[in-house]
Chain A
Amino acid sequence: MHTAIETDGKTMFVYLEGELDHHNAGGVRDKIDEFAAAFCPEHAVLDFGGVGFMDSSGIGLVMGRYKLLQTFGCTLELRNLSPHAYKVMRLAGLEKIAVLKKGKEGREDNASAK
């Protein structure tokens, strides 16, 4: 699984590519946490455009990153979710902790966001 991380100084952009399962989640987690701890961004965008498969490991990854980012007041956004990834995220109620955007155009669905 390939993970690229960029920042514009305020926002951290994480581009995920590959299959997000238990086998791959640990490596992705370490990369994000290392970068986030060093830069303390205001906003974090996880881009799922390159994710071909995702199971509940993806939910765990998002929940864990939310807890970490929250400690320094960073907000979280999930972008370019496939219909399947969106279904998995919604199953876990992640729209309550992050802004979820589907597809390439990024239709917002944060009506229920706190």
Chain B
Amino acid sequence: MIEAVPVVSLPVRRSAASRMGSAAAADATGASVDQLTETYQAHYRSLLRLAALLLDDLSSCEDVVQEAFIRVHAARRRVREPEKTLAYLRQTVVNLSRSTLRRRILGLRVLPKPMPDMASAEEGAYDALERDQLRTALRGLQRRQREVLVLRYYADLTEAQVAEVLGVSVGSVKAYGSRGLAALRVLMEGSHD
């Protein structure tokens, strides 16, 4: 996978060709694995952190982001548009996070492992406290509000982009955002006392 085959130069295989046999698949794999590594290095960490804000246990986050990578990269059409890959990944992470939460609500998943406390020496106790407060507060939000805030202010998407990811109108994004901010503030202040 070190041989850096430029992805673009590959003969385009349409979906019909994908049935033709594994030989065709094999030579395309080398190139896309390279691309996979690239995408991984560029986006995995930030998507994992995005998931960490939407979910509350690290192993679910890993599962969700890995599954998103697998899905997006298994669909060749999607990786053929590198400029859209991140958007696909992000969308998938959000959707999978939702279904993970839903499963958990339904009680199908055993109690999640808590996020490991990674408060290190260089991180002050105050920071750790603040971080935990924020996580707790985020969890107290409505799911939509949390998604909007995280996509808007962590992933730095525009309102229009958030609307697209969540499949709602821009107006709704604005509404969820402002209500979410207000609710978050209340929750954060509540936890100060």
Q: A and B: real partners?
A: no
